[in-house]
Amino acid sequence: MGKPQKNKSAEKQTTTDKTSDEASASTRLDASTRLDASSDQDEAPTRTDIMAAINQLNQNVDSKFELLNASIAGLKQSLGEVEQRVISTEGGLNEHETRIKALEDQCSRWAEEARSLNGRVDDLVSRSRRQNIWIIGVKEGMEKGNPTDFVSKLKELLLRLSSHKFPLQHEGARIFIFPDLGPAVMKQRQQFDNIGTRCRSAGVRCGFRHPATFVVSVGEDKCTFNNPKDAEKFLDDKQVSR
């Protein structure tokens, strides 16, 4: 009967030890938890810290916006100045265009007047020379010291001979007579040089009507031209050889 009592006492002692160990472990766990909580509580930001950070951020944003607004204001001022310059430039351009248009109109009138005056001058020069002639082919020294008297007599002689004798000759030399024309008329007539050469080669009669109208006679057709291209087309239509 004594042995069973001893076993119960041992079991009771073992149970007491386990309970004591569990209590000790629980105490250590609670202490550790409280320590961690205390550490987390020390690291977490407070409401004051959060508000201070927000205020600082607002101040930074406000500062940036102030700088941005200042830049925008400067740009607006610059754009305003540019706009005024553009308006001033456009006004100046409109004024210049008006003045240029007036000058162009004036130049056009002057050009027309100049063409008219040139035409009149050329006509006066041509009329003043219509009674003059060029005599080519006279031998040098034939005037014998008196060119005025010689030319006067030679002119009358050539005019008499030209009515019934061709080619003209004087003391064995062939004489050519050309009208005395102004530079402008000569330039106009020179445009028909190739046409005249073609007509003479083909035996077609041609000549000039004063001052520079080209006259061509092909058979019974007689035409006048002021443009060498028109004269050339007429010869082509008449199949005049080149």
Alpha carbon 53 to chain centroid, angstroms: 63
114, 90: one domain? yes
Give the domain extent around 213: 181-242
Q: What is the 3-state secondary structure (H, E, C) of 68-120?
A: HHHHHHHHHHHHHHHHHHHHHHHHHHHHHHHHHHHHHHHHHHHHHHHHHHHHH
CA distance 123 to 195: 24
140, 126: one domain? no
Q: What is the CATH number of the domain that holds 213?
A: 3.30.250.20
pLDDT tens per residue, range 73-108: 889 888 989 999 998 888 888 989 999 999 999 999
What pTM, to 2 d.p., does this model score?
A: 0.46
191, 168: one domain? no
119, 142: one domain? no
Q: Please check whether residue 109 lies inside any domain of the structure.
A: yes
- Domain count across the chain: 3
Strands 173-179 and 168-170: antiparallel
Q: Please check whether residue 207 lies inside any domain of the structure.
A: yes
Q: How many CA atoms lie within 13 A of 219 on its CB side?
A: 6
Mean pLDDT for the chain overall: 80
Per-residue pLDDT at 195? 92
Query: Over pLDDT 90: what percentage of the chain?
Result: 22
pLDDT tens per residue, range 121-177: 888 888 888 778 788 887 777 777 788 888 888 777 777 776 666 677 777 777 777
199, 235: one domain? yes
Q: Please check whether residue 157 lies inside any domain of the structure.
A: yes
- Phi/psi of residue 98, each to 5°? -65, -45
198, 151: one domain? no
Check pLDDT > 90 for residue 45: no
Structure confidence at residue 32 as a pLDDT band (50, 70, 90): low
Check pLDDT > 70 for residue 51: yes
Per the model's pLDDT, the better-predicted residue between 45 and 59 turns out to be 59
122, 143: one domain? no
Q: Please check whether residue 235 lies inside any domain of the structure.
A: yes
186: buried, middle or exposed (CB in 10 Å: 19+, 13-18, 0-12)? middle
171, 207: one domain? no
When pLDDT is averaged across residues 178-203 and rounded to a whole number, the result is 89
175, 191: one domain? no
Q: Please check whether residue 143 lies inside any domain of the structure.
A: yes
Q: Please check whether residue 193 lies inside any domain of the structure.
A: yes
154, 113: one domain? no
* Secondary structure letter of residue 180 according to DSSP: -
Check pLDDT > 50 for residue 4: no
pLDDT tens per residue, range 212-224: 899 999 888 899 9
Per-residue pLDDT at 21? 55
- Boundary of a domain, candidates 130, 154, 169: 130
190, 237: one domain? yes
Per-residue pLDDT at 194? 93
118, 139: one domain? no
Q: Please check whether residue 16 lies inside any domain of the structure.
A: no
- Boundary of a domain, candidates 130, 150, 170: 130
Q: Please check whether residue 225 lies inside any domain of the structure.
A: yes
Per the model's pLDDT, the better-predicted residue between 48 and 167 turns out to be 48
